[in-house]
């Protein structure tokens, strides 16, 4: 569904009216126009800063250089010597900010390593790095903070200082969102440095256009799992299954996984067979029309995967339904249907395919919702299933890691699909504007996040739920 208000405010008349009456102007988000590139940051100025004693400069600088970035540093930065020696160790060249004072030439990406924060006073280094430059963050700019997970911090004061980045990042996201710029935080667990390069390629590029105000915990990759040598076509040779692939978010996920080289198996209800076929035809996908709640669905999926492809490397549990009613008015059927499709089927299919159907190293992604985090009146059934997914991926992560793979969830915010088009006009309009980016997301935004998590770029992400919601204020 189209966001007519956003379109209007970018027309000549709409812009003039919005300026005259001080109405909000949702920014046009810059989304990825291509598959993952070998050097996605070429021609981009990335300003890098760190606290003294930061533990991540080498990993970050190596990743930025490999991605083609022009790495800039602040000439009088207190940790300049440390940055220079880290850059020398990984053969990354540095330039100063000279020439970037002009707004038009400003850096578009700001990366700050806070892993060395050990006291409240240290936080002043973050302020000094960003405060003088915040007004120059351009449209669609990126601020990415890095920290150690507070649980890994050496002292309570270090834990407090690292955790402080969460609130800083969320507040900054709300300040810069109206420009389409985003702020996010990566909490890097011990050993997760090895996977940082893949995660940066998602968070610093337009693949993450609608991910805002989030902190993501990274963990050490499982044995045998590694980043791809060449980041181009990270899913080539992989077989990826997507449920609910006929339309909406599922169709976008299938197309995006195919864009990165995966062979797609699309599943949807038998009555959607024609739509499923039409979606899959665009990338020669294989259709499997079945109801995922059918008693024999897990067995049929397993058998079909075994017979046609020898197994699956990626499984995306996307199919979902709503049957909204307040609890007082909710029928047992509405409860059972939603619980059955959104949660029960996922558990049953995974249980079966973990025995036979998933290849070693399989990466699974389940679609949750911010409704499972913040809750919505009229969605006790839906909210229960979407929160259930969050607990489920956390619990299953060690099991998948043992097999060299991972399981994660994506929690979409308000996304322009058939599901949200059916909402009453008032709540729909409120849902759209209630985010830092003051607009709903598109199915491609969820598809990009799912593709990232399904790929070896996310080798350091397991058991996590990533919100893709433009920093929707619900459940924050
Ligand atoms: N649209 C949003 O704003 C939003 C927000 C948060 C979460 N989500 C979640 O994203 C996922 C996709 O949502 P969407 O908006 O694309 O929905 P949609 O209704 O447009 O598409 C859902 C697809 O799932 C299929 N499906 C439903 N029940 C099935 C079953 N029993 N077996 C097989 N296929 C089945 C449908 O036929 C349909 O093709 C869902 O899990 C939804 O809960 C959506």
Q: How many residues are given for the chain?
A: 476
Check residues 103 and 227 and name the one with the higher pLDDT: 227
Q: For the chain, how long is the longest CA-to-CA vector? A: 66
pLDDT value at 256 more than 70:
yes
List the Cα angle 211/195/207 in 5-degree steps: 30
Per DSSP, 405 falls in state: -
User: 103-135: b or e for each residue (b if 16 or more CB lie within 10 Å)?
Assistant: eeebbbbbbbbbbbbbeeebbebbeebbeebee
Using one digit for the tens of pLDDT, what is the confidence trace for 308-336?
999 999 999 999 999 999 999 999 999 99
pLDDT value at 101 more than 50:
yes
Which residues face 415 on adjacent strands? 441
Which pLDDT score, from 0 to 100, does residue 35 have?
A: 98
Q: Give the mutation target among 373, 419, 439 for probing the ligand 1 site: most ligand atoms within 8 A of CB.
A: 419
Nearest to 254 by CA among 265, 413, 275: 265
- Is the separation of the CB atoms in 57 and 112 below 8 Å? no
Using one digit for the tens of pLDDT, what is the confidence trace for 424-440?
888 788 888 889 999 99
What are the φ and ψ backbone dihedral angles of 447, each rounded to 5 degrees?
-60, -40
Kindly give the distance from the C-alpha atom of residue 223 to the centroid of ligand 1, in angstroms, as a whole number.
34
Label residue 10 by pLDDT band (50, 70, 90): confident
Domains 22-218 and 239-468 share a fold: yes
Which pLDDT score, from 0 to 100, does residue 103 have?
A: 62
Q: Whose CA is nearest to atom 34 of ligand 1?
A: 268
- Is the separation of the CB atoms in 99 and 134 below 8 Å? no
pLDDT value at 78 more than 80:
yes
Per DSSP, 424 falls in state: -
Label residue 423 by pLDDT band (50, 70, 90): confident
What are the φ and ψ backbone dihedral angles of 308, each rounded to 5 degrees?
-85, -35
Residue 299 CB contacts under 8 Å (≥ 6 apart), including other chains: 352
Which pLDDT score, from 0 to 100, does residue 5 have?
A: 72
Q: Which residues line ligand 1 (CB under 6 A)?
A: 243-244, 246-250, 267-269, 272, 291-293, 318-321, 341, 367, 369, 412, 414-415, 417-420
Counting Cβ atoms within 10 Å, is residue 139 exposed (0-12), middle (13-18) or buried (19+)?
Answer: middle
Q: Whose CA is nearest to atom 19 of ligand 1?
A: 419
pLDDT value at 158 more than 90:
yes
pLDDT value at 19 more than 90:
no
Which pLDDT score, from 0 to 100, does residue 425 have?
A: 83
Q: Whose CA is nearest to atom 3 of ligand 1?
A: 415
Residue 392 CB contacts under 8 Å (≥ 6 apart), including other chains: 343, 346, 347, 366
Kindly give the distance from the C-alpha atom of residue 342 to the centroid of ligand 1, in angstroms, as a whole number.
9
The hierarchical CATH code for the domain 22-218 is 3.40.50.720
Label residue 33 by pLDDT band (50, 70, 90): very high
SS3 for 271? helix
Work out the percent of the chain whose per-residue pLDDT is above 70: 96
**Overall average pLDDT of the 75-90 stretch:** 96
Which pLDDT score, from 0 to 100, does residue 6 have?
A: 76
Which of these CATH numbers, 2.60.40.10, 3.40.50.1100, 3.40.50.300, 3.40.50.720, describes 239-468?
3.40.50.720
Which pLDDT score, from 0 to 100, does residue 102 have?
A: 66
Which pLDDT score, from 0 to 100, does residue 99 have?
A: 74
> Distance between CA atoms of 466 and 217, rounded to whole angstroms?
10
What are the φ and ψ backbone dihedral angles of 49, each rounded to 5 degrees?
-140, 160
What are the boundaries of each domain within the chain? 22-218, 239-468
Name the active-site residue from 5, 210, 382, 392: 382
Tell me whether residue 5 is one of the annotated catalytic residues.
no
Per DSSP, 262 falls in state: P
Calculate the dihedral angle through the C-alpha atoms of 307, 309, 312, 316, rounding to the nearest 10 degrees.
Answer: -90
- Is the separation of the CB atoms in 469 and 410 below 8 Å? no
User: What's the pTM?
Assistant: 0.96
SS3 for 62? helix
**Overall average pLDDT of the 379-402 stretch:** 98
Check residues 8 and 306 and name the one with the higher pLDDT: 306
pLDDT value at 476 more than 60:
no
Label residue 241 by pLDDT band (50, 70, 90): very high
Label residue 345 by pLDDT band (50, 70, 90): very high
Kindly give the distance from the C-alpha atom of residue 319 to the centroid of ligand 1, in angstroms, as a whole number.
4
Using one digit for the tens of pLDDT, what is the confidence trace for 361-389?
999 999 999 999 999 999 999 999 999 99
- H runs (alpha helix) in 177-217: 196-203
Using one digit for the tens of pLDDT, what is the confidence trace for 274-293?
999 999 999 999 999 999 99
pLDDT value at 475 more than 60:
no
pLDDT value at 84 more than 50:
yes
Residue 26 corresponds to which tokens in the numbers above? 């949702």
């Amino acid at each position: 569904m189209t966001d007519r208000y956003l379109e209007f405010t970018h027309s000549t008349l709409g812009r003039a009216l919005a300026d005259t009456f001080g109405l909000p102007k949702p920014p046009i988000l810059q989304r990825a126009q291509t598959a993952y590139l070998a050097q996605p940051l070429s021609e981009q100025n990335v300003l890098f800063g760190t606290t003294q004693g930061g533990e991540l400069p080498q990993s970050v600088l190596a990743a930025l250089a490999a991605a083609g970035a022009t790495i800039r540093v602040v000439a009088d930065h207190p940790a300049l010597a440390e940055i220079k020696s880290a850059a020398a160790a990984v053969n990354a060249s540095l330039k100063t900010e000279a020439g970037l004072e002009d707004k038009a030439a400003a850096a578009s990406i700001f990366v700050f390593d806070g892993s060395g924060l050990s006291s409240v006073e240290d936080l002043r280094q973050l302020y000094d790095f960003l405060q003088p430059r915040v007004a120059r963050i351009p449209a669609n700019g990126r601020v990415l903070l890095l920290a150690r997970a507070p649980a890994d911090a050496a002292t309570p004061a270090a834990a407090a200082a690292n955790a402080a980045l969460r609130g800083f990042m969320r507040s900054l996201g709300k300040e810069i969102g109206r420009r389409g710029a985003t702020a996010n935080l990566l909490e890097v667990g011990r050993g997760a440095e090895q996977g940082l390069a893949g995660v940066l390629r998602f968070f610093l590029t337009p693949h993450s256009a609608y991910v805002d105000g989030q902190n993501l915990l990274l963990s050490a990759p499982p044995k045998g799992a590694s980043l791809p040598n060449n980041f181009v076509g990270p899913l080539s040779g992989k077989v990826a299954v997507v449920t609910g692939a006929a339309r909406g978010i599922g169709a976008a996920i299938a197309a995006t996984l195919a864009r990165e080289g995966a062979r797609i198996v699309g599943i949807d209800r038998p009555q959607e067979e024609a739509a499923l076929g039409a979606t899959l035809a665009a990338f020669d996908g294989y259709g499997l029309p079945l109801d995922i709640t059918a008693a024999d669905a897990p067995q049929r999926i397993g058998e079909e995967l075994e017979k046609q492809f020898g197994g699956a490397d990626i499984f995306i549990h996307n199919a979902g339904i709503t049957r909204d009613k307040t609890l007082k008015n909710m029928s047992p059927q509405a409860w059972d249907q939603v619980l059955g499709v959104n949660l029960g089927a996922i558990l049953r299919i995974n249980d079966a395919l973990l025995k036979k159907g998933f290849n070693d190293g399989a990466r699974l992604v389940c679609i949750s919702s911010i409704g499972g985090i913040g809750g919505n009146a009229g969605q006790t059934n839906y909210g229960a299933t979407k929160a259930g997914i969050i607990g489920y991926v956390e619990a299953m992560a060690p099991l998948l890691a043992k097999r060299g793979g991972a399981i994660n969830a994506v929690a979409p915010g308000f996304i322009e699909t058939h599901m949200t088009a059916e909402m009453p006009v008032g709540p729909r309009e409120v849902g759209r504007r209630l985010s830092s980016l003051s607009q709903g997301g598109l199915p491609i935004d969820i598809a990009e996040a799912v593709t990232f998590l399904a790929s070896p770029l996310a080798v350091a992400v397991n058991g996590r739920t990533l919100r893709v919601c433009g920093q929707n204020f619900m459940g924050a």
